[in-house]
Amino acid sequence: MKQKPFKILYWLNIALLFTHLGMGGGIQRFLAINFFLLIISLIGFRHFLCGSYGGTAFSLLIAVSGIFVFLIHGYFILAGRHEFTLPASEFLLSLISIVSLAQGFVAVKMVRR
């Protein structure tokens, strides 16, 4: 399997998840969480570029995180939290679910090789 689509899914999902984190909380929370996640995602991407199993494991972790984000927000919407029903939020959550599923599928295929 070629690495280019896998790289694109990795970075697209990271960008979507970071955008999602910027939608709530204060600026200090936003900066702290995004800094921490950026470091982790860069370490994972470095492992991916080196062709190590750790890169695929990081990718699976990111994919699972995206699916979790989608599911927990679905719960919030069902519980009546209207801030998650804004068009931008719904669009972002939909993209996160699609990209996370695609990234997870590709990562699982790479593990099975």
Q: What is the mean pLDDT of residues 78-94?
A: 88
pLDDT, tens digit, for every residue of 4-63?
A: 777 788 878 888 887 776 555 666 777 777 788 788 888 888 888 887 888 888 889 889
- How far apart are the C-alpha atoms of 6 and 64, rounded to whole Å? 15
- How far apart are the C-alpha atoms of 36 and 31, rounded to whole Å? 9
Residue 14 has what pLDDT?
A: 80
Residue 34 has what pLDDT?
A: 74
- How far apart are the C-alpha atoms of 111 and 100, rounded to whole Å? 16
- How far apart are the C-alpha atoms of 54 and 60, rounded to whole Å? 10
Number of domains in the chain: 1
3 state DSSP class of 106: helix
16-43: b (≥16 Cβ within 10 Å) or e: bbeebeeeeeeeeeeeeeeeebeeebee
Domain span including residue 67: 3-112
Q: CB of 5 within 8 A of CB of 106? A: yes
With a threshold of 0.75, does the pTM exceed it? yes
Q: What is the mean pLDDT of residues 55-75?
A: 90
What distances in angstroms separate CA 113 from CA 76, 90, 101, 107, one per listed residue? 38, 35, 19, 10
- How far apart are the C-alpha atoms of 1 and 107, rounded to whole Å? 10
Residue 101 has what pLDDT?
A: 95
* 50-53 LR contacts (CB < 8 Å, sep 24+): 53/111
Residue 47 has what pLDDT?
A: 85
